[in-house]
Chain A
């Protein structure tokens, strides 16, 4: 087996292990109170953490584009228009700030 295939299989197994482990982690656990509040906050907190370095530490164009995208999102625009606003504004802002 080549090292490339070995690497892909290793990555696939490691990734599947992280995805499957949650099934067993919560078995029989009753979630209420503070633990429930914490778990309910996980989806937005994780999504935010994934993109935070891009939108906060890349440059002023990306930060302003993120603010404009968030404005579009909170105006309840359909997701596809929100993405168009983000992509178009980052292209324009990079021209302005480069």
Chain B
């Protein structure tokens, strides 16, 4: 078996639990989108081209008639501004991958496949096979569950009654544990959590994600000691 195929299969294997969690979240999103008047094709189109869960939930929250497309575009920009930092970080590990694939890799960069790629890059060079093994099943699952939700979602009842609304948070906690290296990680996480929660309460809009991320980075930089290798 070629190494590309082996890496692809490893990526698919790693992302499987995420697909399990993303399916009810996609169904939920599609249901909400249909409730706001999007036809199934429009729900699919948004999942296929925006491909960002958090931004899509916020957009459906903001959605009304007539459709405020400028506000929706600006909101997507703010919610996803964290991707600037994320793609800058990921690009450090893309040096051995053909440049022609970089734009497509960035198009498919969601929180989950980005986090798995960063985690793999701690030990193994990131490969195209592994990245697409994560990203393509994610894209297919997200778009498919979105359109199914938009078509038949209402017949499932309230997803919160089954705790599915918490699947997103639980999945992130599970992925986070893989990043725990030293006690200092706890300081970074604590600072990020407190900053984000406070920002959510007191700063309008979706800036809390960027604020939490930057506070965590600042804490890590402050705790860094000279001469450390890692």
Residues of chain A at the chain B interface (Cβ within 8 Å): 2-23, 25-27, 31, 33-35, 37-57, 62, 65-66, 69-70, 72-74, 76, 78-80, 82-83, 85-88, 90-91, 94
CB contact under 8 A between A43 and B72, given known A48-B216, A53-B196? no
* Residue from B76, B109, B212 in contact with A46 in the complex, judged by beta carbons closer than 8 Å: B212
Question: Once bound together, how far apart are the Cα atoms of A91 and B166, in whole Å?
Answer: 9
Question: Once bound together, how far apart are the Cα atoms of A48 and B191, in whole Å?
Answer: 10
Residues of chain B at the chain A interface (Cβ within 8 Å): 16-18, 20-21, 38, 42, 45-46, 49-52, 54-55, 59, 66-70, 72-74, 76-77, 80-92, 102-103, 106-107, 109, 111, 114-115, 118-119, 162-164, 166-177, 179-180, 185, 188-189, 191-197, 200-201, 208-221, 223-224, 226, 228, 230
17 additional A-B residue pairs with CB within 8 Å, beyond A8-B46, A47-B172, A49-B196: A6-B69, A12-B50, A15-B77, A19-B107, A25-B87, A39-B92, A40-B230, A44-B185, A45-B192, A46-B85, A46-B209, A48-B172, A51-B173, A57-B197, A73-B176, A74-B180, A87-B164
Question: Once bound together, how far apart are the Cα atoms of A6 and B88, in whole Å?
Answer: 28
Residues of chain B within 8 A of A37, CB atoms compared: 220-221, 223-224, 228
Q: Is B193's CB under 8 angstroms from A22's CB?
A: no
Chain B residue nearest to A1 in the complex (CB): B69
Residues of chain B within 8 A of A20, CB atoms compared: 87, 103, 106-107
The 3 closest A-B pairs by CB, nearest first: A49-B212, A45-B216, A86-B170
Q: Is B84's CB under 8 angstroms from A25's CB?
A: yes
Can you spell out 17 A-B residue pairs with CB atoms less than 8 angstroms apart? Answer: A8-B45, A10-B72, A16-B107, A18-B81, A22-B90, A45-B216, A46-B212, A46-B216, A50-B54, A50-B196, A50-B209, A52-B194, A69-B170, A80-B17, A86-B163, A86-B173, A91-B162
